[in-house]
């Protein structure tokens, strides 16, 4: 079930904080200007003093100057809200002398810092306005308790009791909430990830609040009794600021990869919130590209981890240089990188960007004079097509990346039909496991015949009818089994069932071989060859009656183990067939290394045989190549008489498809075999039988040659 879009998919706090009101800064300045005019009128009308005189006034002025100099030395933007020294001083003066004196100190600090840093006058104006509004809010909080301090009538600490604590707390909270809230809405970058910023800012502001509650009243006590000591408060106030800046730096380090300096996974997840929100509001798409380098581990094993780290630094630098505008690069860990595309026009555009990144990262790299070429695989997931939030995009991009790595395609876009981890498919996978345990999965058998009126064998095709969903397409549940770890159990089940049926046929005199397709995972499993030999012996089936269909993918990972397993199988007498020839990475090298006796031409070439001269030439060359190597050739997906005739003229040894027969359950397959052994070919009909040692087969096969509008059950009867 997909997540809902828009507001329902985003955290409500993120949507609240990321909201922007046009004219926020102008409104802040205007409101602060009105407050200053009211204060000026009150100052003139009531003839009140603006700031204390004598030692107290000069001590506060000196302390203010020290704090301003300290803020200049920090070299950071004060609007970020990471300092507490100015806030503590401002609140102390507000509690003692009222909001006009506090506003004067605040404006003095802001203006001094702005002049020293040559900050734009508009920025300084907004900063000062924010502080004035915060001071006004704190003053109203104190006034709500009936207290109205001024220079003429200070709120002396001698009159404080436990009842004053709520006033101080209220004033501190009001000041912090107003100033930090207005600063966020006025200046916070919309590209900043909410969660980390909010978490870090809240931690810092909690420290500021504690400082305000602890230091501001102490400043007031000293100002009344020993004002000459006021400048000494610069030490704890500066220490407070340093603590806050260290906390901020550590928080930022948590969002960075220490080796490459790129953002890390935590940053990516938090940045994705704002990126997906913006894409949703603009009715646009966003995409996540996950990149992994093939066999990078061999670099570490061969050259050492230090060399691997230097190589990762080069990769990160190259990734930075080839990033599209607006994109963000992230290192997830190891040799995994991610690229967030916050605004992408279409899935095709995202795939195009991914291919350009893979191509750029595949260029040679120099490491201490050694030229290295690394192959990268990338998976692409798109919002909102594939997921509604960052974690979902990352998981789906990971699924697509492993598809690209497994199929050697370079780049793959997420395909839900190949993802075995969705809730619906996980439930289907559990049902498949139960069906295998209960023996509810069936095998159908599709004949393979040659041009000399003899049956060469049968292909075992797995079928599963779900009690609620009905028939599940083989491609769907076989792909689930391959990616979930259930494939060995499925292969075991099919081998056991097929050999049991072959044993019954051979005991009845129907001596035909049956082929079963095995996945690369099966071939790489330790002891697979011995397990197959043990099953053959248990069912009393001669090894030549079983043929295993494999693809060249078995040699792409752990080629030595695969070669040993295949050699052991042929040593036991089991025949091997190379399936799907022409659709992957077929080559003479692979044909030499694989101990196969048969080659199967994929149906995609056979389907266009009569209309495409290039496909016909490919088939002819394939047949000639196979025969020169002593291999039999079988064509899949034969559905019409013209293809039959062309394949016979090209020298193909056997055919398989709907023209011969559809896949049939065991009783129908048995009847078909018996009819073929008892019936002779009528004159004038083409020879549709097969070479004696051919095969048919596979656990991982779907309905090759089956027209979409028909099923196995309503297929035409064999043509003889």
Section 248-272 average pLDDT: 81
Is the pLDDT assigned to residue 503 strictly greater than 80?
yes
Is the pLDDT assigned to residue 637 strictly greater than 70?
yes
Element spanning 244, H or E:
helix 234-253
Whole-model pTM above 0.85? Answer: no
Which residue reads 């072959």 in tokens? 502
User: In sequence order, what are the residues at sequence separation of 6 or more whose Cβ sits closer than 8 angstroms to the Cβ of residue 227?
Assistant: 54, 55, 56, 59, 60
What is the model's pLDDT at position 720? 29
Helix, strand, coil share of the chain (percent; to 5): 60, 15, 30
pLDDT: is 156 or 339 the higher one? 339
- Quick check: helix, strand or coil at residue 579? strand
Q: And the tokens for 362?
A: 């595949």
Exposed, middle or buried, 430 (CB in 10 Å: 0-12/13-18/19+)? exposed
Instruction: Check residue 291 and report its DSSP letter.
Output: E
What is the model's pLDDT at position 78? 40
Is the pLDDT assigned to residue 190 strictly greater than 70?
no
pLDDT: is 243 or 566 the higher one? 566
Least confident of 118-132, 546-560, 602-616: 118-132
Residue 588 banded pLDDT, cuts 50, 70, 90:
low
For residues 65 and 110, the answer to whether their CB atoms sit within 8 Å is: no
pLDDT digits over 459-478, tens only? Answer: 999 999 988 888 988 887 88
User: In sequence order, what are the residues at sequence separation of 6 or more whose Cβ sits closer than 8 angstroms to the Cβ of residue 508?
Assistant: 670
Is the pLDDT assigned to residue 80 strictly greater than 50?
no
What is the model's pLDDT at position 209? 67
Residue 589 banded pLDDT, cuts 50, 70, 90:
low
Q: What is the DSSP string of 584-605?
A: S---HHHHHHS--SEEEE-HHH
What is the model's pLDDT at position 40? 78
Q: How far apart are CA 102 and CA 142, in angstroms?
A: 13
Instruction: Domains for the chain: give ranges and CATH numbers.
Output: 23-254 (no CATH), 265-413 (3.30.70.270), 424-675 (3.20.20.450)
pLDDT digits over 646-697, tens only? Answer: 888 888 999 998 888 889 999 999 999 988 876 544 434 444 433 333 333 3
For a pLDDT cut of 70, what percent of the chain falls above it?
80
Sign for the CA dihedral angle at 173, 175, 178, 184 comes to negative
For residues 207 and 240, the answer to whether their CB atoms sit within 8 Å is: yes
Instruction: Check residue 663 and report its DSSP letter.
Output: -
pLDDT: is 190 or 165 the higher one? 165
For a pLDDT cut of 90, what percent of the chain falls above it?
15
Residue 391 banded pLDDT, cuts 50, 70, 90:
confident
What is the model's pLDDT at position 690? 34
What is the model's pLDDT at position 444? 95
Q: How far apart are CA 609 and CA 613, in angstroms?
A: 7
Is the pLDDT assigned to residue 488 strictly greater than 80?
yes
Question: Kind of pairing, strands 285-293 and 336-344?
Answer: antiparallel
Residue 447 banded pLDDT, cuts 50, 70, 90:
very high
């Amino acid at each position: 079930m997909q997540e809902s879009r828009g507001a329902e998919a985003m955290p409500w706090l993120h949507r609240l904080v990321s909201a922007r009101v046009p004219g926020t800064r102008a409104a802040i300045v205007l409101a602060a200007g009105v407050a200053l005019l009211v204060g000026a009128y009150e100052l003139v009308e009531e003839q009140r003093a603006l700031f204390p005189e004598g030692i107290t006034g000069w001590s506060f002025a000196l302390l203010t100057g020290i704090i301003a100099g300290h803020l200049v030395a920090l070299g950071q933007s004060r609007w970020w809200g990471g300092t507490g020294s100015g806030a503590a001083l401002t609140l102390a003066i507000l509690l003692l002398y009222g909001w006009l004196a506090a506003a004067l100190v605040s404006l003095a600090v802001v203006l001094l810092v702005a002049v020293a840093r040559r900050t734009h006058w508009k920025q300084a104006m907004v900063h000062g306005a924010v502080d004035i509004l915060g001071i006004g809010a704190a003053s109203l909080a104190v006034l709500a308790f009936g207290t109205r301090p001024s220079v003429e009538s200070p709120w002396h600490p001698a009159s404080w009791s436990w009842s004053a604590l709520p006033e101080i707390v209220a004033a501190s909270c009001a000041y912090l909430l107003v100033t930090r809230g207005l600063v966020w809405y006025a200046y916070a970058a919309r590209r900043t990830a909410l969660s980390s910023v909010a978490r870090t800012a809240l931690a810092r502001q909690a420290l500021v609040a504690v400082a305000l509650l602890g230091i501001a009243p102490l400043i007031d006590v000293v100002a009344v009794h020993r004002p000459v000591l006021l400048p000494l408060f610069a030490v704890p106030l500066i220490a407070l600021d340093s603590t806050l800046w260290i906390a901020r730096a550590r928080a930022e380090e948590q969002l960075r990869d220490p080796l490459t300096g790129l953002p890390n996974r935590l940053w990516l997840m938090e940045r994705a919130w704002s990126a997906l929100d913006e894409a949703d509001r603009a009715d646009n798409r966003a995409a996540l590209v996950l990149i992994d380098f093939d066999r990078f581990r061999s670099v570490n094993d061969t050259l050492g981890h230090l060399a691997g780290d230097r190589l990762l630094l080069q990769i990160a630098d190259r990734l930075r240089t080839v990033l599209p505008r607006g994109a963000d690069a992230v290192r997830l860990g190891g040799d995994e990188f991610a690229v967030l595309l916050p605004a992408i026009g279409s899935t095709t555009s995202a795939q195009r960007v991914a291919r350009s990144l893979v191509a750029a990262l595949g260029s040679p790299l120099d490491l201490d004079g050694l030229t290295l070429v690394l192959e990268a695989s990338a998976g692409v997931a798109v919002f909102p097509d594939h997921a509604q939030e960052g974690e979902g995009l990352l998981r789906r991009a990971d699924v697509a990346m492993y598809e690209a790595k497994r199929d050697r395609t370079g780049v793959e876009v997420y395909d839900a039909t190949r993802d075995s981890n969705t809730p619906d498919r996980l439930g289907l996978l559990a049902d498949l496991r139960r069906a295998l345990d209960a023996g509810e999965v069936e095998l159908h058998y599709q004949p393979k015949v040659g041009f000399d009126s003899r049956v060469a064998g049968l292909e075992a095709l797995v079928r599963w009818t779900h009690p609620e969903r009905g028939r599940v397409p083989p491609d769907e549940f076989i792909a689930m089994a391959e990616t979930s770890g259930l494939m060995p159990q499925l292969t075991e089940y099919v081998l056991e069932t097929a050999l049991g049926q072959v044993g019954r046929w051979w005991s009845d005199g129907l001596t035909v071989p049956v082929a079963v397709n095995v996945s690369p995972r099966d071939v790489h499993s330790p002891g697979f060859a011995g397990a197959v030999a043990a099953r053959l012996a248990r069912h009393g089936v001669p090894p030549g009656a079983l043929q295993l269909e494999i693809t060249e993918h078995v040699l792409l990972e752990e080629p030595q183990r695969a070669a040993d397993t295949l050699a052991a199988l042929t040593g036991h007498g089991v025949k091997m067939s190379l399936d799907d020839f022409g659709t992957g990475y077929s080559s003479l090298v692979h044909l030499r290394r694989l101990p196969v006796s048969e080659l199967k031409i994929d149906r995609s070439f056979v389907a266009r045989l009569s209309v495409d001269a290039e496909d016909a030439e490919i088939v002819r060359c394939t047949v000639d190549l196979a025969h020169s190597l002593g291999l039999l050739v079988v064509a899949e997906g034969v559905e019409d008489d013209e293809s039959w005739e062309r394949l016979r003229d090209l020298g193909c040894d056997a055919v398989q498809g709907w023209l011969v027969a559809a896949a049939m359950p065991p009783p129908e397959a048995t009847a078909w075999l018996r009819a073929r052994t008892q019936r002779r070919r009528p004159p004038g009909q083409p020879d549709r039988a097969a070479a004696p040692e051919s095969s048919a087969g596979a656990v991982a096969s779907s309905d090759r040659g089956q027209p979409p509008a028909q099923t196995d059950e309503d297929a035409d009867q064999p043509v003889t």
